[in-house]
Structures are given as structure tokens and as C-alpha cells.
Amino acid sequence: MKKVPVFFISGFLDSGKTSFIIDTLKSDLGDNMQKTLLLVCEEGEVEYDPKFLEEANTTIKYFNSIEEFDYKLIDKLVKEEKPDRIVMEMNGMWNLEELQFPRSIEIVQVVEFIDAQTFGVYFNNMRQKFVDIIKRAHLVCFTKLSSQDQIEPYRAALKLINNRCQYLCMDKNMTASDAFEEPLPYDIEAPVIKIERDDFGTFYIDTFDNKNRYDGKTVEYDIQVILSDKLPPNTFIAGRFIMNCCANDMQLYGFLVKDNLGKDLVDRQWIHLKAKVAYEWSDEYNEEELMLYPISIETIQGPKDDILNLTGN
């Protein structure tokens, strides 16, 4: 049985979800437009015009609570309306994991809308909620953005939460552009790429996004030594513990250093590392992984707080 594709349009109230859906339906107007079943779980300031929905070959169904969202009802709607697609305007406060769907449909894309004006406050005070939201997204769209400076401090944090989704900014006309176009905080063309402590998150993410920038280059930065019995002899992880949402949710991010240069290293101690970058195939991860071949290792005094909080809050 062919399943009906579902497009989730989610986000907090008045973040631009309805305007985006209307704009999408307008762009599809024509002889070959699809039949759409629109499920609305939150009503904001922008309303749907019944006449326009009829022109757009769209049937709408409103839900006032998560309890009303019953998979049997959804299945019935699908059988009655026979839509080519389902667009669901999701309530950002609902838990997607609590929703049940019939087997006749399939979620193919999750788009999250975020109001840039309030993002910083919400992210710092409701971080776990935002982590859950962003983790599931295929696309994250920032609206009401007056300057990219509003979201730039969160670049590394967001990409560590979900580096596979695309981050966009949308203006009032729903025209999209890349959310993070600012230059890197270090000189990528320098003979030795010197990375400040607070820029490790940006460096880590960019090595996955842009391998060609780093392959064969020399990097230099302060980092922690992470030792493990599971690692090959005379190797260690050069990494940082980074706080994603709260003090109880810290994860290690780092790279394998393939020689300790005979140093008697201690777990969690700080070093100044100068190393050559190489991308090598990993059977464990079934892809190329960044490896570091050290040129020099110096033990140093680390910061008072060795946990990296990427938003500085």
C-alpha cells in the first residue's frame, strides 16, 4: 500500500508556520496541484481563508488538544479525502512522541520554525525542549531576524545538536537564505590554523561539513586529553566535554590522536597540541574520520571550568 507523505510544520506560536504553509499552497496553484489534507493543531494570528483553501484543493481539520489527535480519526480522514499529501501545522509545545499515526501515512519531512526575537531567551531557559525540537528536524527556519548576530552565537550549539538538518533564515516574504554565512573565527588559509579554546565547537562541526578545508593542514589549539583502555596503544582523544542542554547532559567531542610522542599523559589534563590533519577510513563508522598526527604536545594549565558551554550562558 502506498503511504501518504506527511510534512510536519512545527514551532512555537506566531513563529511563521501558517504564513509558510499558505505561501507553499499558493506556489502549488495550477492544473497539476496536489490534493492536500491540512491538519492544524494550533491557531495563531494568521488565519486560513476557506475560499483560498478550496482553490488550493485543500481540506482543513482543526485539533484543539493532543487528546483529540486520534490515529483512527486520521485514518478515516485519509480514506475519505484521499489526499496526495498531508501538511500538519504542529503545536510546538506538543510532544511528537505522544502522537500516534495510522499505517497509511509516513512522515517525510519535519520543518521547525523559530522566532529569532525570542530564541535566545527560550533556548537558555527551555534548552531541553529546544534540543528535542531541533534533533527531529530536517529543516530549521529562523523568522523575524533583524540581524544574523542574533543567532550566530548559537551556531556551534545548534549544529552539535543536529548537524544533518539545514538552517535557514526567512524574511517577511518567506524568502530563504543560509542562516550561518559568517566567516570562521580563525584563519583557514594560515600555514598553521590556530584555534582559540572557545572556538573548538565551531572547528569540530566545520571539519565534518568541509573536509577539504582541513585535509593535510596543520592545526594548533588547547585541548583536553581523554584516555581509554579501548583505544589503541599510544593514542588518545583530543577533545572537550560540551554541555548541550543542561549540566546533566554533557557529551565528549573530539578526534583520535595517533601518537602520544612518548609523553606520559594523564586523563582530562590539558595540552597545547600542534598536529597534522588526515582523513582516514573508519570501519567502525563506515566513513572517513578526521585523525590527528601530532607534531608537538605541551602540557598546560587548563581553564577553571573545563566544560564548554557554547552559548556562554
> Which CATH number fits the domain that encloses residue 41?
3.40.50.300
Q: Are residues 123 and 232 in the same domain?
A: no
Q: Are residues 268 and 210 in the same domain?
A: yes
The one-letter amino acid code at 52 reads F
Q: Are residues 139 and 11 in the same domain?
A: yes
Q: Is residue 185 part of a domain?
A: no
Dihedral through CA 109, CA 12, CA 36, CA 111, nearest 10? Answer: -20
- The whole-number pLDDT of residue 134 equals 87
157's enclosing H/E stretch is: helix 155-161
Q: Is residue 248 part of a domain?
A: yes
As for how many domains the chain has, the answer is 2
Q: Are residues 168 and 222 in the same domain?
A: no
What is the span of the domain harbouring residue 109?
Answer: 4-178
**Using one digit for the tens of pLDDT, what is the confidence trace for 144-184?**
888 777 888 888 888 888 888 889 988 877 778 888 766 78
Region 231-260: mean pLDDT is 86
Q: Are residues 300 and 213 in the same domain?
A: yes
Q: 145-149, 253-257, 298-302: which range is least confident on average?
A: 145-149
Q: Is residue 18 part of a domain?
A: yes
Residue 256 has pLDDT above 70, yes or no: yes
Residue 312 has pLDDT above 60, yes or no: no
d(CA 30, CA 57): 10
- The whole-number pLDDT of residue 245 equals 59
d(CA 209, CA 265): 31
- 3-class DSSP state of 267: coil
Q: Are residues 30 and 172 in the same domain?
A: yes
Q: Give the end of a domain, one of 178, 205, 226.
A: 178
- The whole-number pLDDT of residue 176 equals 80
Residue percentage of the chain with pLDDT more than 70? 95
- The whole-number pLDDT of residue 242 equals 85
Among 76-90, 128-142, 170-184, top mean pLDDT goes to 76-90
* Mean pLDDT of all residues belonging to the chain: 88
Instruction: Record the pTM.
Output: 0.71
Q: Is residue 17 part of a domain?
A: yes
Region 202-214: mean pLDDT is 91
Residue 296 has pLDDT above 60, yes or no: yes
Residue 199 has pLDDT above 60, yes or no: yes
- The whole-number pLDDT of residue 244 equals 66
Q: 12-26, 48-62, 215-229: which range is least confident on average?
A: 12-26
> In this structure, what CATH number is given to the domain that contains residue 263?
2.40.50.140
Q: Which residues of 238-271 are buried (b: 16+ CB within 10 A; e: fewer)?
A: bbbebbbbeeeeeeebbbbbbebeeeebeeeebb
Q: Are residues 168 and 197 in the same domain?
A: no
Region 77-106: mean pLDDT is 89
DSSP state of 198: G
Q: Is residue 29 part of a domain?
A: yes
Q: Are residues 13 and 144 in the same domain?
A: yes
62's enclosing H/E stretch is: strand 58-62
Q: Give the end of a domain, one of 178, 213, 234.
A: 178
- The whole-number pLDDT of residue 130 equals 81
Q: Is residue 186 part of a domain?
A: no
Please calculate the CA angle 293-299-305 and round it to the nearest 5 degrees: 105
Q: Give the end of a domain, one of 119, 145, 178.
A: 178
Residue percentage of the chain with pLDDT more than 90? 49
Q: Is residue 139 part of a domain?
A: yes
- The whole-number pLDDT of residue 247 equals 58
Region 250-270: mean pLDDT is 93
